[in-house]
Amino acid sequence: MRVDFHIHTQKCKSGDSPKRKISPKDFIKKMDENNVVMCAITNHNKFCKEEFQEILDSDPNFSIFPGIELDILMDENKHYHTIVICDPSEMKQFYETFDNDNNRDYDKFYLEYQDFINKVKEFSNEKIMIIPHFLDKDKKRAFTIKDKDKLISDLKDYVVILEPGKIHTMGIINGHDEISLLGSDVQDWEKYSEYELPEIKFKTNSFSKFCELAKNSKQFIKQQLDATKKFDIVINKKQDIVPIYEDINIVFGEKGAGKTVLMSNYLLPHFQAMGKKVFLHEGKNYSTEYENIIKRYESSVEIDESLQENIKYSFDKVIEYNEDSIPNFIKSILEYHEATKISTNALLIKKTEATFRETNNNNFEKLYNTATQNIKKIDDVKRINDELREKENNHRTILNSELNKLNKDVIKILKNDYRNVYINKNTDILLQSIKGSVTKKTGKIAKLNKLGFSDLVSKRLEFMENITSINSNLDGIKQGGENINLGELPNKGAIILEVKIVTLFPEYVYKPKSVFNKNNISLYRELVKKIETFSFQSFSEINNFFDYTEKSVDGVKFISEVIKKEVNIKKENKSIYEIYTPSEGEKAILSISGLLENTKFDCYLFDEIERGLGNKYISDYLIPKLDKLRNQNKLIVLSTHNANIATNTLPSQCIYCDYKDEESNGYYFGNMYSGELVGSLDSSEILNWEDKALDHLEGSQNMFNRRKNLYGI
């Protein structure tokens, strides 16, 4: 479907080509042949109401609007061209305002800029549009960026659509959220099919609807000019197909007509099966919905697993630590040197003098724990790589290949470290066995493999490393958390959900509703205090440093009692957030706004979203929020009886539900721009959108005013 708002049908100026002339009958034929669904005749400084009326009376298959191309003089050096089109209902006033001079010299006629502005303002802003030549459209008479900005400023609240000279320029302008449409500016009707014209997604059957849509440039570009994904959903046994757009889709109809069935039985499972992140808010059980949102956000804030694993490992090592009686190193050395009752042959056995130096003093468990954490980090990076990059992405393949190599290196290093530990431990055992045998048979005291002093120091240093690890990882964990916007409450302002990770500290004083367990808080405060304040001097009483009850705690239990999630609802008050308890009615509002504030979903399904919401809240918060999600390419389906939502969201798709039985059309789809609703089972059955909307949609006085434009009544 194409649109052309710059068409010439007559030779007006002396420079006009005679090939521009075309009869109303042939004009209609050209529009149909080229699938032009909206157009305007815009002859130079002339509006021929007789010609327009003749085309209108023929009941064409397209929408046609009165128009004129005017010469505008901004000053002596600025002579511009601009097109003006209007609602057909204003044809008489349009003619009297812009072409009521039967003796007009079309070559010499022009309007002073301010006079032009004043004439436009004689029309309400939903009845007229201005389409100035812009940039590369006839550069001598095209508005510059500066003059375009002045025009838009002087005609605030009026729709200004820019007309460039090339389709490429049109794309650039629309990419900057300003509406632009190419026109044919037809020179030769025999070549009309060769002209580049913009395509639109939806045929609009009235000027007012087109104008309402064009007032929001972002939405107009997205809905009318940009490509939007469409999903064909198969409905029930009849294999009805209902299209759903990656945009805003409105579902309406009587109660019991199949709206909820459509949402819950077909749309929700369809998008879930596609792997999309989707939810369905059914407009009831608000407390449950509210609690589910809180739980969903709470579960999304996770305590770092690697930090927890470090704490668990280190805590178990600390709490299990014990020292046997410290050996008398000096006595052992003296016994070795002072031994005299040995045979001559015993002196020849040099194995008793052997010692060895350890190359690695790590233990198996610590090595395994470190390797496991490294492999998990590699897997996390691979997961992110797979999620963010398509399967055929070359960078994805290269990174995964390198990560696989790194994974093998971690395992290779672990095996090598295991080998060293094994050799160290078993060399020590072997030498002790040989020396013990010699001593037993000869009486010669063997030289110690190692005094044991370095073992003790190493053991204590490892203990201190574990103490430091617990303290540092607890510090790292308690920095976690997130503040999540739950939306706004009427007359209350912004509401946030604070989910933070808290850790128990020695000075913590228990308060009602605390996340920590009142029954054992003293035990764990003392444990945290002992770990936090441990020093080398504490080794003098190390075996009794932790009492029996404390030693019965393992790492898993310690983490569960010392590290907690704390959840608070807070309300903004003079830039400060204070804890707030929403009422049941406010929970209903937050159950909706909390989902709308979460941009991580792909599909947003709301069944009767308006329940419990006032019209002001719908207008001031809900609709702007839906518009913001639409601009992020989210798919939104709203079942509603509210005219405010159904019209002001400017949906791409409307679905009318009228399910009666298996043999009849259960669903009709279309949009308010074309005014048609086509049966899902029998496409020959077409309903009038305006009739069904007025029957089934409710709204405020503002909505009835809006309906006047959208419905054409």
649: left (phi over 0), alpha (psi -120 to 50) or beta: alpha
CATH superfamily, region 2-225:
Metal-dependent hydrolases (3.20.20.140)
Q: Helices 305-319 and 453-477, interaxial angle, to 10°? A: 140
What residue type is assigned to position 247 of the chain? D
Tokens of 431: 């030498």
Task: For residue range 246-290, list pLDDT tens digits in order.
Answer: 888 999 888 777 888 888 888 999 999 988 999 898 877 788 888
Report whether pLDDT(353) > 90: no
Regarding the domain delimited by 230-277+601-710, which CATH topology (the fold level of the hierarchy) does it fall under?
Rossmann fold (3.40.50)
Q: What is d(CA 193, CA 175) in angstroms, rounded to the nearest whole number? A: 26
- Assess whether the region 2-225 and the region 230-277+601-710 belong to the same CATH fold: no
pLDDT tens by residue, 104-127 = 888 889 899 999 999 999 999 889
pLDDT digits (tens, 9 = 90+) for 549-578: 999 999 999 999 999 888 889 888 777 888
- What is the full DSSP assignment across 161-190? -BB-SSHHHHHHHHHTT--B------S-GG
DSSP H/E element including 394: helix 394-442
What dihedral angle (degrees, nearest 10) is formed by the CA atoms of 356, 357, 363, 368?
-110
What are the backbone angles phi and psi of residue 106, rounded to the nearest 5°?
-65, -25
Confidence grade of residue 701 (pLDDT, cut at 50, 70, 90): very low
pLDDT for 663 beyond 70: no
Give residue limits of the domains in the chain.
Answer: 2-225, 230-277+601-710, 299-304+478-578, 328-451
The per-residue pLDDT for range 48-101, each reduced to its tens digit, is: 889 999 999 998 888 899 999 999 998 877 888 999 999 999 999 999 999 877
User: Residue 133 carries which DSSP code?
Assistant: B
pLDDT in tens, 301-351: 888 888 888 889 889 989 988 887 655 555 655 555 555 455 445 554 555
Rounded to whole angstroms, the Cα distance separating 477 from 503 reads: 8
DSSP 326: P
Would you call 449 helix, strand, or coil by DSSP? coil
